[in-house]
Amino acid sequence: MSDDLSSVSEELRQAVGPILGRTPSGVFILTAADGQGRETGMLASWVQQASFEPPVVTVAVNCKRYLIEWLEAQPRLALSFVGESQKELLRHFGRGFEPDVPAFEGLEISRDGATGLPVLADSLGWLEGEISGRLEAGDHVIYSVTVTGGASGPRLESEAPMVHLRRSGFTY
């Protein structure tokens, strides 16, 4: 889990960076709690369905984020799906939040799920679940999340999801 990308040769970076960067991914707001009353949200784009039965998604979180500790203490999370017109959420969540800063201030949230975690009321929809597995993958941890609930939002049928493409597969 090194921050050092020196193990990747410049030749490989040049060859695969543009391809990896153009691999499309959705945009989500991941919500978690620390078990002590604090909650946060972060921009997440490496989310993928991984199983039909039971429904499972994978979520990658950078090892530098304090959220890793929170997910270990409270192994559940929620994901709000961001629509293509919701660019303001990129600005709001893009820089991240310190642990004691309220991440959802000024946003309409819902707590309709069994986890009680906040989800964005105006999102395309949301899922929540329990962490059922963990894999260290370089500078990220990939969580397997068994989906236990969710709901469609008001935009699900009328708006396309936001898609994230990068210039290089070696940076966000």
DSSP secondary structure, 122-165, as one string: TSSEEEEEEEEEEEEETTEEEEEEEEEEEEE-TTTTTSPBPEE-
Query: Domains in the chain: how many in total?
Result: 1
With a cut of 70, say whether residue 1 has pLDDT above it: no
Residue bearing tokens 């469609």: 152
- Within a domain: 113: yes
- Within a domain: 84: yes
**pLDDT tens figures, 113-135:** 999 999 999 999 999 999 999 99
Residue span of the structural domain in which 117 resides = 5-163
CATH number of the domain at 57, please: 2.30.110.10
Q: What is the mean pLDDT of the chain?
A: 92
Residue bearing tokens 């290089």: 168
- Within a domain: 129: yes
Q: Which residue has the higher pLDDT, 120 or 14?
A: 120
**pLDDT tens figures, 24-68:** 889 999 999 999 999 999 999 999 999 999 999 999 999 999 999
**CA-to-CA dists, residue 20 to 32, 75, 144, 170, angstroms:** 28, 29, 22, 8
Helices (H), the chain: 10-21, 67-73, 88-94
With a cut of 90, say whether residue 171 has pLDDT above it: no
- Within a domain: 131: yes
Provide the pLDDT confidence category of residue 6 given band limits of 50, 70 and 90. low
In this prediction, residue 7 carries a pLDDT of 82
- Within a domain: 93: yes
User: pTM of the entire structure?
Assistant: 0.90
